[in-house]
Structure 1
Amino acid sequence: QQYMVCTRVMAHLAVPVLLLSFSLLCCSSPSRTRKAISPIQAGAEDDDVKSQIEKLWQEVHLLKEKQALQTGKTPNIYMMENGDLRNYARRSAPGSSEFWIGVSDIVKEGQYVDVNSLPVSYFNWDRSKKQPTGTKRESCVALSVAAQGKWQDEVCRSLKKYICEFVIP
């Protein structure tokens, strides 16, 4: 088994999605004649395009998050020796303090499953911080290097590195 910190899991998908989105924004309403546009109209259109691009960028991040949770095989990551995993994370990404491990209770609050929707039977919660907090807002599990590899439930949209497991034959 080989483990790695995945920092660019969806980079290949993000660029085509952004290019396609931008081309749709630019070419979605073709006209046969050119009209003179006042600077005020141009500014409003620029703001509208920027707003649409921002929304698309947020959607790309959501897609990246969803696919990253499904890409790596992670059912054994949280079951392996937690200290080894913490040490690996510390060596692989110095300066990063928390890593997603592919465990969440998004479907049903309090019922943690891995990326394959299999129930999780091993837990390593950071009890000093009263984890898990039990709120619906915090549904994804992160390993905290600072807390000696203990787990914390976090907001799933938080930007963190992933720890992925790959089986190399």
Structure 2
Amino acid sequence: MDHTAQVEGIAVGVGPDGAGVPAVVLAARDEYLPIFVTQDQARAIQLGLSGEPFERPLTHDLLVDVVTEFGGAIDGVRIDDLSEGTFFAKLDIVRYVEGESEKFVFDARPSDAVAVAVRADCGITVSDTVLDAAGRPPSEVDFDPEDGGQGGPGGPHLDDPDEGDWSGFR
């Protein structure tokens, strides 16, 4: 069984090479794991981090509400594989019926899994194998996980520590 590291912070920013590609950055095991996402995915994660309510539920909010309404809970998210540059995740759900728990595991895109996790306030883990393959040292990503708050697209940059503000690290 692969060992895992608990994610201690999440930020949304702009990826390296000046391409303006959004990335969600997960901090685990004294490393930062950038996962490149679409603008929509970055916005969904950012909105979840901000905690700002919407008049109508967004997709990830709806999923959490439906799971809860049917007696379940989002138990955790695992970023557990990396193949040919693509990350893979699992969404762990527990349903309680008459005092008994039943566990379910669903394959998910990491961006969707993280967007659900920030709304459900559940833990996120990353396999050591994934961190070993794609993690970056803190010197390559400029932010302070102690600052709190929310990051934003267009803020932090992975390739230029002098640009942006990683105060959004949660």
- Larger Rg: 1 or 2? 1
Higher fraction of helix:
1
Higher fraction of strand:
2
Please report the TM-score for the alignment, with normalisation by the length of structure 1.
0.23
Please report the TM-score for the alignment, with normalisation by the length of structure 2.
0.23
